[in-house]
Amino acid sequence: MADWDDLRIFLAVARAESLSGAGRVLKLDPATVGRRIGKLEDAMALRLFSRAPQGYTLTVEGQRLLAHAIRAEQAVAEAMDEAGGGGGLTGQIRVGAPDGSANYLLPQIVAQICDDHPGLDVQILAQPRVVNLSKREADMAIAVSRPASGRLTVQKLTDYRLHLVASRDYLDRHPPIMSLADLKQHRTIGYISDLIFDKELDYQTEAGMEAVTLASNSVSVQFNWVRSGAGIAVVHDFAMAAAPGLVRVLPVEVSLTRSFYLIRHSDDRRVDRLNRFAELLAQGVRREVARLEALA
């Protein structure tokens, strides 16, 4: 039967879907990871992964083991919590988030939490898609809508606002914008429409932007286009402090409100360390959104 160390390596490969990715997480050579997976498969007389040039994917038997491995991981986390005695937060925690919050909110929030808890090792997984908590890609995730299914707990964090924004330089060089109809004379920036992974991110439709000239699945790319004077985009109010010189356009006509939610696996409610971190993260997001929006 597999011991915890075997399961730890199995979980890393299942999540990374590659030996190199698992090796980076485990701080092991990929060849060592591969040998350990091979020995585990031999010991269990099961093929746990399908190997292909694109990576490692779980077989049916691997999927069955995954559920047991996650429960073992949960038990280890609970045991570590009990042994820790409720002191300072320690260990690794991974947070998934869309890249808007990952770039303009989480860095300073997480840095402050780590200042107060030096034993923490926090990873921010910025993804232009929904983070898969069922596969334990992260310990918790920030999302812009409530998940429709899964054994998950959902906590609303805060509302946030977005407006049409351009640089002062861009506006000085182009015709004035007095109404939404005037946007047709301007270069607009937004998401690649067929890569919008959540309907809450379809800002351009709500803002009356029929099509965008410059498109990216990354909020950061869009923001840097705006900052460089390339055009007009819907921008988070909390991001505007990162680029002085940005100006709201038609702020009355185009004012969007969205929400952030903290999503966690339901089993993690028994892990005090994750509960405490989640509460600090929630407090930080609310505080930082309020602070930065006041500056916009």
**For the domain 1-85, what is the CATH code?**
1.10.10.10
Q: Is 93 exposed, middle or buried (0-12, 13-18, 19+ CB in 10 A)?
A: buried
Whole-model pTM: value is 0.75
User: What homologous superfamily is domain 160-256 in, according to CATH?
Assistant: Periplasmic binding protein-like II (3.40.190.10)
Give the mean model confidence (pLDDT) for residues 1-23: 86
Q: What is the CA radius of gyration of the chain?
A: 22
- Residue pLDDT, tens place only, 239-292: 999 999 999 999 999 999 999 999 998 878 878 889 999 999 999 999 999 999
Nearest to residue 288, comparing CAs of 245, 238, 224, 252?
238
Q: Return the pLDDT at 72.
A: 83
The residue whose two tokens read 């049409």 is: 164
Quote the Cα angle for 17-20-26, to 5°. 95
- For residue 47, the SS3 value is coil
Buried-exposed string 257-278: b where 16+ CB fall within 10 A, e elsewhere: ebebbbbbbebbeebbbbebbb
Q: Which helix (H) or strand (E) element contains residue 218? A: none
- Residue pLDDT, tens place only, 144-167: 999 887 788 999 999 999 999 999
d(CA 14, CA 21): 10
Better-predicted residue by pLDDT, 238 or 205: 238
Q: Work out the angle between the directed axes of helices 19-26 and 30-44 (0-180°, nearest 10).
A: 100
86: tokens are 């409720």
Distances 138 to 8, 10, 127 between C-alpha atoms, Å: 15, 16, 11
Q: Is 256 exposed, middle or buried (0-12, 13-18, 19+ CB in 10 A)?
A: middle
Question: Can you list the alpha helix ranges (DSSP code H) found in the chain?
Answer: 4-16, 19-26, 30-44, 60-84, 99-104, 106-116, 168-173, 203-206, 219-227, 272-295
266: tokens are 């339901």
Percentage of the residues of the chain whose pLDDT score is greater than 70 = 95
Q: Return the pLDDT at 53.
A: 86
**Domain boundaries defined on the chain:** 1-85, 160-256
